[in-house]
Amino acid sequence: MKQSQQSNDPLAAPPGMISVTVDGRTVLVPRTMPDWQGRQVPTTMLQACELAGVTVPHYCYHPKLPVAGNCRMCLVEYGVPALGPDRKPMRQPDGSLVIKKSPRPAIACATPVSPGMEIYTSTPTVKLMRQSVLEFLLINHPLDCPICDQAGECKLQEYSVEYGRASSRFVETKVHKNKQVDLGPRIMLDQERCILCSRCIRFTRDVVGDDALGIVNRGSYSAIAAYPGTTFDNNYTLNTADICPVGALTSKDFRFQMRVWFLKETMSLCASCGTGCNIVIGSRENRIYRFTPRQNDAVNSCWMCDYGRLNYRWIERADRLTNPGGTKLTKPDWEDAINGIAAGLKQTIPGHIAIVASARLTNEELYLVRRLAQFLGAPTDCAPRSGPADNLLLCADRNPNTKGAQLLGIAASLPGANLPVFARLIRNGTIRSLLVFGEDVTRHGIAPEDLARLDFLVASDIHSNGTTMISHYFLPGCAHVEKRGSFTNVHGRIQKFEKAVDPPGLARPELYWLSELVCRVTGQSVGRTVESVFEAMRAEVPAFRNIAWADLEDHGVATSV
Amino acid sequence: MSWAVPKEVEEKVDALVRRYPKPRSAVVMVLHALQEHFGCISPEAIEWTARKLGLRPINVLELVTFYPMFRREPFGKFHLRICRTLSCALAGSHQLHRHICEKLGLDPAKPGPQTSTDGLFTVEFVECLASCGTAPVIMCNETQHEQMTIEQVDKLLDQCRCKCGTGREGNLAAEHGFEP
C-alpha cells in the first residue's frame, strides 16, 4: 500500500516540475530550462539555486554560453533520496525522505537536479572548497588591481571578499606571462590575469562563429592566444571584455580611461542600427566613457556589436551646433528662432511645403513632426541609411527608428522614395518651403542650389552640415544619449532610453522645441514631456494604442502592428 | 624552398583520417605522421593540418603546445629524456638533469626541451618512463639507460659525441659495454 504522503512531499511535484531543497528551503523548479541557445534541457543545480534565491559563485558558467565546467568555483554538496531494497525511496518514521548525502561535491553549473534532491551551499566543506579554488586561481595572479581596468567589477575581487582567505600562503615564485598581448584591433590581453575560464573562446566560437581563440601551452603556462599572425577581429570582440570575469581581456578604447566605480550608469539603447541593442551608458562629469550591452533576450541577449559600441565619439565633436542660428536669425536666441519659424510656417500654403525628418529621431519627436505635417499639409519622408548586415545583431538599416517613422507615417513605404520627388518639386517651384529635422538633405539627393531656391528653409541637426549652413533658421538638436525617448526597432519593438549627459551650449532635445512649434503653429498643446507626447501619440496612432509609457519598462514592448 | 608534404606522407595522412568518424579526431595521429617525416611540427605543418581536417590553425596549435611529444623545433641528434617522476627524483634524477644541462651549457631551470648550441643534444625533463625499479632512468633516443650515475652520464655524453666524431677519440662503447 502506498504510504500516506504529506502535501509538501518533495516527490509529489506537479507535472513538469521538480521539488528540490536548497539550504533547507524547498522550492519547485521546472524539470527543464532553456540552455544557452534556448533549447529545453534538464534544470541544473545552479539554476535551481538561483530560483531559490541562493547565489552560487561561478567564473566559467555564463547563461548564454555552452557549459564548460572548468573553474570549479560552483562546487556544492548535495544529497538525493536514498532507495530501499524495494528500489523505492526510504522514509523516516515521520514520513520525510531519507536523504543520502553524496560523498563528493558536484559542480552546480553542469549537474542536473533530480526529484527530492537537497543542495547544500553553505556547509563548512563548501566554504573551504570555494576558498581553496580561489587560492589556486590566485597562485599566479599578479594582484595588480590598482592598475587593472576590471577593478570594481572583477569576480576575483568580489569572490575574494566573500569567500577568500584573508592572507596568502604562497611564498613561491609566480609564473610570469605576457601582460600586453595585442589580440586584435580592439582587444588587449593580459595573460597573467587570466583564469582560463574559456568564456571568450566559447563566445567567439559558438556565438559569433569565429573560432579564433584557444588555450596554448599547458599547466601553469597555459594562456589564451590567437593563432600567430592572425588577429582577433570580428564585429563582436569587445563582448569578450564584458564577459571576461577578470581583467585579462580589456577594451583598448576604455582601458586606463576611467575607474569603473566613478561611472554613472544610464539605461539606454544603441542607435547605430535598427536592431536597437539595449545598452548601459557609462558616463562621468558629462562625458561618455563606454557603452556596454544590457541583457534583453528579446533583442540582443547579452551582446552588442563593436561597431555600435564604439560609435559615440562623434557626440563630443567640436562642430556641434550649440545655438540656434540661420541667415534670418539676428541673435542666437531660442525665443527669436521659434517666433521666426512659427511666423514663417503660418504663411506656408498646403501643397507647397515638405518635411524631411530623420529616422534617428524618437517616436515622440516624429509624432510631433506628424502633427506639424498634418496641420501644414506637408508630405514627409526620412533619409534612408544602410550598410552591410551581419548574421548576429548588426542590421542593414543603420537608422534606429525607421520602423517608428513608418508606423507614424513619416517615412515613405520605401523610406527615401519621396526625396527625389521633393527635389524635382523644389526645382520646378512647387515646393516653396522645406523643414529638415536631423538630416543633411544635400547628402540625400537635394542639391544646395535647389535649396537656395526655397522661400523658407528650416533645418536642425546635431552637427553643422550642408543644409544647416544655408538654412534661414537652424536649430541645435541632441544626440540620443542627451535626451529621453523611445525608438521602434526593425522588428517593431518599442524601447525607451534615458538621458545620460547634458547637451552642449543651447542645444535642446528636439521634443522640447518641436512641442513648442506644434503649440504655436497648430494652437494645440501636447505637453512638453516625453510621457505627455507619448500619451497623445497613443491616442492617435493605432500601432501604439495598447502601450503605455510605463509598460515599456527596461526591455520594451512589441507593437501589435 | 617552398614547404610541401610529399605524396606518400599525404597518402598516409588520408588513410589515418579515414580511420575516424570525424576528420578532427585524427589530428594527433596526423601530427605524429608529419613529425615523423619532417622531424618537427612547423607552422606550415600546423596550417596544413588545419586545412586538411577542416579546423582553424589555433585548434591545432593548442594540441601541439599541449603535448610535450610534439616538437616545434628540430631536436638534436641525441634526445636525452631524464625522468623527473617520484622514484627517479628520489634516486637523484634532478641532480643528473642539472649536471647534464650545465655540461651542455643549458639552463636547468627552463621548462620544456632545450637543445645544445652544437645541435647534438636535446635535453628534456620528462614524466615517468615506466622503469621505477631501476631509477634513475634516462632515455637516449629509443634506448633506456638504467640506474644512472653522474659518471655514467658523462660517459654516455662522450659516447654520443664519439658517434658523431666531435668528441675525444676512444672506444668507449666497447670499454663500458653500453649502447647510446
Cα end-to-end span (Å), chain B: 34
Burial code (b: 16+ CB inside 10 Å, e: under 16) for A401-439 equals: bbbbbbbbbbbbeebbebbebbbebbeeeebbbbbbbbb
Q: How many CB atoms lie within 10 A of CB B9?
A: 16
Domain of B57, CATH number, reads 1.10.10
B54 and B101 share one domain: no
A211 and A104 share one domain: no
CB-CB contact of A463 with A318 (8 Å): no
Domain count, chain A: 3
| Long-range Cβ pairs for the range B39-44 (8 Å, 24+) | B39/B71, B39/B74, B39/B75, B40/B71, B40/B72, B40/B73, B40/B74, B40/B75, B41/B70, B41/B71, B41/B72, B42/B3, B42/B72, B43/A228, B44/B3
User: What is chain B's mean pLDDT, rounded?
Assistant: 90
- Domain end (from A76, A102, A132): A132
Q: Which residue of B has its CA nearest to A225?
A: B58
CB-CB contact of A321 with A308 (8 Å): no
Distance CA A433, CA A107 (A): 69
Mutate to test the interface with B, among A183, A200, A227 (most CBs of B within 10 A): A227
- Residue A139 clears pLDDT 80, i.e. is over it: yes
Length of chain A: 561
B59 and B100 share one domain: no
A422 and A502 share one domain: yes
The amino acid present at A275, given as its one-letter code, is T
Q: What percent of chain A has pLDDT over 90?
A: 96
Instruction: Flag whether residue B65 sits within 8 Å of chain A, measured between CB atoms.
Output: yes
User: How is residue A44 annotated by DSSP?
Assistant: B
- Domain end (from A316, A344, A376): A316
A240 and A341 share one domain: no
Is A390 among the domain residues? yes
Which value does ipTM take for this structure?
A: 0.87
What residues in chain A have their Cβ under 8 A from chain B's Cβ atoms? 211-218, 221, 225-228, 230
B83-102 pLDDT, tens digit per residue, is 999 999 999 999 999 999 99
- Residue B178 clears pLDDT 50, i.e. is over it: no
CB contact under 8 A, A211 and B56: yes
- Residue B25 clears pLDDT 60, i.e. is over it: yes
Which residue reads 508606423 in cell numbers?
A: A407
- Domain end (from B41, B66, B91): B66
Binning pLDDT at 50, 70 and 90, where does residue A4 land?
very low
Q: What is the DSSP string of A500-527?
A: -SPPSTT---HHHHHHHHHHHHHS----
A372 and A520 share one domain: yes
Binning pLDDT at 50, 70 and 90, where does residue A10 land?
confident
Domain of B89, CATH number, reads 3.40.30.10
Contacts of A211 in chain B (CB under 8 A): 56, 58-59
- Report the DSSP pairing between strands A353-357 and A223-226: unpaired
Owning domain of residue A22: 17-132
Closest of B13, B8, B9, B12 to residue B53, by C-alpha: B13
A80-136 pLDDT, tens digit per residue, is 999 999 999 999 999 899 999 999 999 999 999 999 999 999 999 999 999 999 999
A470 and A348 share one domain: yes
Domain count, chain B: 2
Instruction: Flag whether residue B43 sits within 8 Å of chain A, measured between CB atoms.
Output: yes
CB contact under 8 A, A230 and B66: no
Distance CA B5, CA A227 (A): 21
Q: Which residue of A has its CA nearest to B50?
A: A227
A467-497 pLDDT, tens digit per residue, is 999 999 999 999 999 999 999 999 999 999 9
Q: Which residue of B has its CA nearest to A210?
A: B56
The amino acid present at B6, given as its one-letter code, is P
Enumerate the β-bridge partners of residue A557: A494
Is B167 among the domain residues? yes
CB contact under 8 A, A211 and B58: yes
CB-CB contact of A43 with A32 (8 Å): yes
A403 and A382 share one domain: yes
CB contact under 8 A, B58 and A227: yes
User: What was the pLDDT predicted at B147?
Assistant: 96
B83 and B59 share one domain: no
A390-439 pLDDT, tens digit per residue, is 999 999 999 999 999 999 999 999 999 999 999 999 999 999 999 999 99
Option in B56, B66, B111 nearest A227 (CB): B56
B85 and B170 share one domain: yes
Closest of A4, A35, A193, A161 to residue A110, by C-alpha: A35
B92 and B146 share one domain: yes
- Report the DSSP pairing between strands A353-357 and A380-381: parallel
Binning pLDDT at 50, 70 and 90, where does residue B111 land?
confident
Domain of A106, CATH number, reads 3.10.20.740
Q: What is the pTM of this model?
A: 0.91
User: What was the pLDDT predicted at B172?
Assistant: 42
What stretch of H or E contains B101? helix B93-103
B24 and B111 share one domain: no
Is A5 among the domain residues? no
Is B26 among the domain residues? yes
Domain of A162, CATH number, reads 3.30.70.20
Binning pLDDT at 50, 70 and 90, where does residue A12 land?
confident
Domain of A542, CATH number, reads 3.40.50.740
B169 and B83 share one domain: yes
CB contact under 8 A, A212 and B56: yes
Is B2 among the domain residues? no
User: What was the pLDDT predicted at A9?
Assistant: 78
Please count the residue pairs, one from chain A and one from chain B, whose beta carbons lie less than 8 angstroms apart: 31
Q: Which residue of A has its CA nearest to B44?
A: A228
- Domain end (from A110, A132, A154): A132
User: What was the pLDDT predicted at A8?
Assistant: 62
Is B102 among the domain residues? yes
Owning domain of residue B136: 78-176
A352-405 pLDDT, tens digit per residue, is 999 999 999 999 999 999 999 999 999 999 999 999 999 999 999 999 999 999
